[in-house]
Amino acid sequence: MIYMLFTNKHPNGLSKEKALNKNTSSSKFKSWAFSAKINLENEVIKKLINKSLNEEPSTRPSVKEFYNILKNELKKLDMNAYYNLKLRFDYFDYFNQIDASSKEIGILKKLSKLHQNNEIYNQVIRSIPIMLNEVNSEKNLIRVSEYYKLLISLAKKNEQDKNKLIEYSKKLIELLYKWHSKIKVKHKYPENKFQNKIIFKTPDIRDIEITSQYINVIYNFLCKYIEKNKIKELFKQYNNDIFYSIFLYSKASLMRLSDMRTCISLLDEARRLNPKELLFEYMKYLWIQNSLMSNKNENIKNIKNDTYKNLKNNYQNWKAIDRL
């Protein structure tokens, strides 16, 4: 391929078009393959390609060596092209590094759709207990929580593991309790800069929304196997008003489409336990507004108006409220 890029033809003499045409006879390549040597005006590239064609793999150049030689030759030939290519490589290397965890989970999701058996599911369920026992930072916790989300999405056809999954759910609740006050939006959505330019800004959402996302998944799963009062106790047992308020908010978010009055009641209780948190009133206003579009109710409308006044009068240190 490198030879064709430099000469527009295959080392056996065929044009690039004929060499890449699947109808070209293989005999055209066999005679050349036994000698497998090339001639090229650029001595550095010639030496590199011939070394790559050595029969003994251990004598061939490494990928890094191959890349560095090509890069240096390009620099001699065209400085602008060299810096343009280097910038692209640096850019992709940077984003592969900072977003490795989400890419890893994204790949597993795609692979799970390709594999008809339980290979990916088995891989994830083996990893989860190890990861749950090794959480030592906010990023670690977010990573294992994302793995848990993937596991639950893959577990629909694996009822035989329900006891394990319930155990992992309880362990994750315990970890979320221990870390909930430290988890910030930036831990899941960090600001990304490349060459001192902001590529991605941390979204303007509340910190508790990160913990709430995972509680939603846990609650939805546990509701299939455990009574709701017992699930409630799993969160209430820690006697922590802030953590319990996040549970109430998560529960309210799951009920907003089916039972607006209960949703409002849960949000009011969450606000009573955690009065400094702006999210409960803000989401109450938005969810009621959305509900009123399909279900007109004067009492609910009055609650919405009162909530709006409360937000504008008492919560002015969040830009999202300014946009209401």
* Averaged pLDDT, 180-197: 87
Per the prediction, the chain carries an average pLDDT of 87
Residue 276 lies in a domain: no
Domain co-membership, 225 together with 105: yes
More confident residue, 26 or 141: 141
Domain co-membership, 118 together with 207: yes
Please report the DSSP string for 279-310 in residue order. Answer: HHHHHHHHHHHHHHTTS--HHHHHHHHHHHHH
**Model pTM score:** 0.71
Kindly tell me if the per-residue pLDDT of 89 is higher than 80: no
What does the pLDDT read at residue 42?
A: 84
Is 117 in contact with 158 (CB distance < 8 Å)? Answer: no
More confident residue, 97 or 79: 79
Is 305 in contact with 312 (CB distance < 8 Å)? Answer: no
Length of the chain equals: 324
What does the pLDDT read at residue 116?
A: 60
Domain co-membership, 120 together with 235: yes
Q: Residue 14's domain spans which residues?
A: 2-77
Domain co-membership, 34 together with 162: no
Q: How many CA atoms lie within 13 A of 241 on its CB side?
A: 9
What does the pLDDT read at residue 173?
A: 98
Residue 106 lies in a domain: yes
Q: What type of residue is 270?
A: A
Domain co-membership, 72 together with 104: no
Residue 116 lies in a domain: yes
Domain co-membership, 120 together with 229: yes
Banded model confidence at residue 115, pLDDT cuts 50, 70, 90: low
Residue 56 lies in a domain: yes
Banded model confidence at residue 170, pLDDT cuts 50, 70, 90: very high
Query: What tens digit of pLDDT does each residue of 116-134 get?
Result: 668 888 889 999 999 999 9
Kindly tell me if the per-residue pLDDT of 98 is higher than 60: no
* Averaged pLDDT, 14-42: 78
Domain co-membership, 70 together with 104: no
Domain co-membership, 121 together with 216: yes
* Averaged pLDDT, 82-97: 72
Q: Which of 182, 211, 239 is the last residue of a domain?
A: 239
Domain co-membership, 65 together with 109: no
Task: Find the range with the poorest average confidence among 220-229, 231-240, 264-273, 315-324.
Answer: 315-324
Strands (E), 57-211: 192-194, 197-200
Domain co-membership, 66 together with 132: no
- Report helix, strand or coil for 197: strand
Domain co-membership, 165 together with 46: no
User: Structure tokens of 298?
Assistant: 């004067």
Q: Which of 239, 264, 289 is the last residue of a domain?
A: 239
Q: Name the CA dihedral angle for 260, 265, 266, 267, rounded to a multiple of 10 degrees.
A: 90
Domain co-membership, 55 together with 108: no
What does the pLDDT read at residue 186?
A: 93
Residue 27 lies in a domain: yes
Residue 308 lies in a domain: no
Residue 204 lies in a domain: yes
Task: Name, of 62-71, 194-203, 280-289, the range with top average pLDDT.
Answer: 280-289
Quote the number of domains for the chain: 2
Residue 283 lies in a domain: no
Q: Which of 239, 268, 288 is the last residue of a domain?
A: 239
CA 199 → CA 18, 86, 92, 192, 202, distances in Å?
43, 18, 12, 5, 10
Query: What tens digit of pLDDT does each residue of 50-64 get?
Result: 888 888 888 888 888
